[in-house]
């Protein structure tokens, strides 16, 4: 199922709401990404167990991208959702390790590696 957003493609996979990030998150596009993520989290917090930030198009995670993800993690947690990151590029994954974010945001190489999620009661 496609999830309408103004700036970011998203879809629901199992009980994960997958959001495709652009190749670069910077100060110019970060406000729109933050807004889109807030909307997705609010609209799908009851039906999705996790928000998945798909950074597959990215070769590197900028400080701005990390800031956006940290904020999204808290917003998702407030709605009862986990936050996962999919990052195929080694440099992108390395940034999560070096910053310590990998300790609080699970990072996977592919969508297929995500833990299976079942819909909760009432979903």
pLDDT 10s digits, 49-106: 999 999 999 998 999 999 999 999 999 999 999 999 999 999 999 999 999 999 999 9
Contact between 61 and 33 (Cβ < 8 Å): no
pLDDT score, position 15: 80
Contact between 63 and 29 (Cβ < 8 Å): no
pLDDT at 9 over 80: no
pLDDT score, position 119: 41
With cut-offs at 50, 70 and 90, classify the pLDDT of residue 116: confident
With cut-offs at 50, 70 and 90, classify the pLDDT of residue 6: very low
Instruction: Show me where the domains of the chain are located.
Output: 27-113
**Superfamily in which the 27-113 domain is placed by CATH:** STAS domain (3.30.750.24)
């Amino acid at each position: 199922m496609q999830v309408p957003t103004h700036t970011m493609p998203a879809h629901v996979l199992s009980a994960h709401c997958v959001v495709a990030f652009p190749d670069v998150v910077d100060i110019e596009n970060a406000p729109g990404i933050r807004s889109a993520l807030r909307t997705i989290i609010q609209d799908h917090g009851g039906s999705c167990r996790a928000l998945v930030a798909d950074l597959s198009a990215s070769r590197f995670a900028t400080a701005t991208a990390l800031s956006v993800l940290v904020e999204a993690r808290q917003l998702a947690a407030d709605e009862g959702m986990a936050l996962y990151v999919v990052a195929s590029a080694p440099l992108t994954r390395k940034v999560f390790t070096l910053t310590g974010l990998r300790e609080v945001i699970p990072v996977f190489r592919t969508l297929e590696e995500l833990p299976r999620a079942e819909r909760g009661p009432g979903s």
